[in-house]
Amino acid sequence: MKNTALITGASSGIGMELARIHAKNGGDLVIVARDQKKLDALKKELEKKYGVNVLVIVKDLSQQKATQEVYYEVVKSKIEINCLINNAGFGGMGKFHERDWSQDEAMIQLNIVALSSLTRYFLPDFIKRKNGKIMNVSSTAALFPGPLQAVYYATKAYVQSFSLAISEEVRGSGVTVTAVMPGATETDFGKRSGMDKTVLFKKTHSAKKVAQDAYNGMMKGKLTVLTGLSPGQRIMLKLSPFFSMRMKLKTIKKLQDTT
């Protein structure tokens, strides 16, 4: 396989669009998600349309040892990964003390532990070869605490901080790390998390556009990519340091309240 990208959460949304973009550019793929049917359909589409090779790995990355199994399967298949794209993740609405802890625990496992673990498995290989690109899909949620999505916002803050830190650690090694920060995007995420009922998701950006911005940024070795935001939202982000934390918390809670 040549110029191979491993993409988690590739069965839908941004992950699926990233797979299409990479295949269109002539790259082979390892696609990872839980849904065998969707992955097989994507494999068939990309191999037929672009003549690339696609390996399907069906894994629930919220389960312990799943990332180790993914890495070992790649090694066993003698595939050299050139781009690692940690896209898989999910959120959930509600007050922290009222939510099902097993759901939040699985969220932490997927959004933080699996992402960090896959990075740890593949990064030494990249460093050794002095070549490789890592994309970690964060969120604009990383910039603030998130009342009514406390754990999700916190996991994305981790992804952002982690990505920036290791990007500096590997600077000059030939390896780049890019943190992608999408705004509200037209994917299954909104429905699964309950965010589709909030003000924030009244206007979403296409997963295809967000994925293209993310991919371009990764290929250029950018530190961060901010995408999927309206001009008004970009202005609000720039103005946010001038508001008190209490005001920001109150506003974010109001934007996410579906009652």
Q: What is the domain-level CATH number for residue 230? A: 3.40.50.720
Q: End-to-end CA distance of the chain: give it in Å, rounded.
A: 50
Cβ neighbours of residue 190 under 8 Å, at least 6 residues apart?
184, 196, 201, 204
Q: Is 152 marked active-site?
A: yes
**pLDDT tens digits along 114-168:** 999 999 999 999 999 999 999 999 999 999 999 999 999 999 999 999 999 999 9
- What total of structural domains would you count in the chain? 1
Express each pLDDT in 4-42 by its tens digit: 999 999 999 999 999 999 999 999 999 999 999 999 999
Q: Residue 78 belongs to what domain range?
A: 4-256
Q: Which of 152, 153, 158, 215 is catalytic?
A: 152
Quote the distance between the C-alpha of residue 128 and its chain's center.
Answer: 25
pTM value is 0.89
How confident is residue 199, by pLDDT bands cut at 50, 70 and 90?
Answer: low
Residue 1 has pLDDT above 90, yes or no: no
| Number of residues that this document lists for the chain | 259
Q: What is the pLDDT of residue 240?
A: 82
Distance from C-alpha of 77 to C-alpha of 86, rounded to nearest angstrom: 20
- Supply the DSSP symbol for 77: T
Angle at which helix 150-169 crosses helix 101-108, to 10 degrees, equals 10
Interatomic CA distance for residues 201 and 219, integer angstroms = 29
